Amino acid sequence: MGCCFSEPVDFDSEVNLFHFDLHRAVGKGAFGKVRVVEHKRSKKLYALKYIDKARCIKQKAVANIIQERRLLEEIDHPFIVNLRYAFQDDENCFFVLDLMLGGDLRFHLESRGYLSENVVQFWAAELASALVYLHKQRIIHRDLKPDNIVLDAKGHAHITDFNVAIHYSERRLHTSVAGSMAYMAPEVVGRKGYTWCVDWWSFGITIYELLFRRRPFDGRTSEKMTNSILKDPLRFPDDAHKKCSSNCVKFVQALLERNVSQRLGCRPHGQGFQDIQNHAWLQGVDWEVLDIKEAQPPFVPDMKKANFDVTHELDEFLMVEKPLTHSKRKANPDLAKMKPEVRQLEEQFTVYDFMSTKRRSYYPHNEPITTVVRNLDSDQIPVVQSISNTLVPTTTMGDRSQAGSPALDTTWHQHMSMPL
């Protein structure tokens, strides 16, 4: 009886796909899939997010992929899905990230039907900690919503999907529109110019939706939704007092303040987090215990069930699409003969290994930041298109996602979610 043996893996070489065993698929996006992988030497499980280069180039998303790769290298936080490895082969770019099998918050919101205030409050504290960290790193996420918040097996919340995240400019407000429209701040949809404060608005919309299973501002068309975000009064359901405390309502109201200078979390010079920590709704939080993940989550996912859409595995089983396989790279590729986009990926989607590579910042010039907070009631501040030398992602206005589906945005720029 014959038997096949795979070649021994050289763990001293640059990290590549041969360092991992491939397990089940747990997510799907426009350019590829997310699957569970196991590092052959450490035996640790990770999430492998892989992106088909040809599809990525066809949809003009190369800049976004490189931007995401670079931003993820800068980030390391307990409530963020962190990058552990990055590499590529001839067909795909790979992100190896922290594995989150507890499901995203969209999945739990849709499957449970009701989330209690104490559960949402716990997640809110963890997410606030992560947002403050990102803003200190000069990063705006720009797409915070239930779909992009995933739980680990113990129930801790983590921000994921940095596909449209950017460094905010140290001098000018940004004007490019990116993210999912229902969660966009007024200064984004109103094209008034914005900075990191937009994440706190999205945070408020997310909390509102988790509590009441609907969003405060909505519309069937982009025009109606824009008008709602800019002008509609903030209303709470008639039974809001049965679902949450008055302090919770005040917290959400303070986040959904159209005047940026008065929005909770948006005080200049980094003092906004103090306002969040001192707010009556979160006063009981022990932030030191929280940040070391010693606080006990009030909701623990049922790990005996799949906390994600199980149809992702069927695609490969039914041969709907080509399965991922290990493949050796072509030796000594000639950069000069490559198409510009292929060469850009080759040169800029560099190898990262958290065991040996020191994290670095790609922030332009690494200059000190001047925080810009403008009053929406005044149009006296001239807004100039940001020129912070970051790769500016393309618009990704997205509609509401379907329950349990990690394919989050419905436009051409639909991108990959983390595993649920």
Q: How high is the mean pLDDT of the chain?
A: 82
CB 323 within 8 A of CB 32: no
DSSP 85: E
Based on the fold, state whether residues 218 and 354 are members of the same structural domain: no
| Domain boundary residue, one of 291, 319, 335 | 291
Tokens of 268: 């200049």
Q: Would you state the pLDDT for residue 381?
A: 30
DSSP 3-state of 49? strand
CB 130 within 8 A of CB 124: no
Q: Is 49 annotated as a binding residue?
A: yes
Round to whole Å and give the CA distance between 35 and 47: 6
Based on the fold, state whether residues 96 and 114 are members of the same structural domain: no
Q: What is the CATH number of the domain that holds 34?
A: 3.30.200.20
| Domain boundary residue, one of 328, 345, 364 | 364
| Domain presence at residue 392 | no
Based on the fold, state whether residues 118 and 218 are members of the same structural domain: yes
Kindly list the strands in the beta sheet with 20-28, ordered across the sheet, starting from the edge strand earlier in the chain.
Answer: 20-28, 33-39, 45-52, 92-97, 83-88, 352-353
| Domain presence at residue 381 | no
> CA nearest 38: which of 96, 103, 104?
96
In which domain, by residue range, is 120 found? 105-291
| Domain presence at residue 166 | yes
Residue 32 backbone class (left: φ over 0; alpha: ψ -120 to 50; beta: rest): left
Whether the full predicted model's pTM is greater than 0.85, yes or no, is: no
Based on the fold, state whether residues 351 and 210 are members of the same structural domain: no
Q: Would you state the pLDDT for residue 319?
A: 45
Based on the fold, state whether residues 74 and 173 are members of the same structural domain: no
Q: Would you state the pLDDT for residue 285?
A: 96
Based on the fold, state whether residues 161 and 242 are members of the same structural domain: yes
Based on the fold, state whether residues 119 and 263 are members of the same structural domain: yes
Based on the fold, state whether residues 62 and 131 are members of the same structural domain: no
CA atoms within 13 A on the CB side of 353: 13
| Domain presence at residue 373 | no
| Domain boundary residue, one of 324, 346, 364 | 364
DSSP 65-79: HHHHHHHHHH---TT
| Domain presence at residue 410 | no
Element (H, E) at 342: helix 340-348
Domain count within the chain? 2
Considering only 109-118, 177-186, 410-419, which range has the smallest mean pLDDT?
410-419
CB 101 within 8 A of CB 153: yes
Based on the fold, state whether residues 124 and 96 are members of the same structural domain: no
Residues sharing a CB contact under 8 Å with residue 132, sequence separation 6 or more, in sequence order: 272, 273, 276
Based on the fold, state whether residues 54 and 83 are members of the same structural domain: yes
Q: Would you state the pLDDT for residue 30?
A: 61
What distance, in Å, lies between the first and last C-alpha atoms of the chain? 41
Confidence of residue 236 (pLDDT cuts 50, 70, 90): very high
How does pLDDT run across 54-77, given as a tens digit for each residue? Answer: 999 998 889 989 999 999 999 999
Based on the fold, state whether residues 230 and 131 are members of the same structural domain: yes
Round to whole Å and give the CA distance between 171 and 392: 16
DSSP 30-44: SS-EEEEEEETTT--
How does pLDDT run across 342-375, given as a tens digit for each residue? Answer: 999 999 999 999 998 888 888 764 433 333 333 3
Q: Would you state the pLDDT for residue 303?
A: 87
Q: What is the CATH number of the domain that holds 260?
A: 1.10.510.10
| Domain presence at residue 60 | yes
Tokens of 388: 């912070």
Give the active site residue among 143, 152, 161, 309.
143
Q: How far is CA 307 from CA 46, 108, 113, 158, 285, in A?
A: 16, 8, 15, 15, 28
| Domain presence at residue 414 | no
Question: Is pLDDT of 408 > 60?
Answer: no
Burial of 118 (0-12, 13-18, 19+ CB in 10 A): exposed
Q: Would you state the pLDDT for residue 348?
A: 93
Dihedral angle of Cα 408, 411, 412, 414, to the nearest 10 degrees: -10
Round to whole Å and give the CA distance between 72 and 16: 18
Based on the fold, state whether residues 128 and 148 are members of the same structural domain: yes
| Domain presence at residue 113 | yes
Round to whole Å and give the CA distance between 197 and 186: 11
Catalytic residue flag (residue 143)? yes
How much of the chain is in helix, strand and coil states, percent to nearest 5? 35, 10, 55
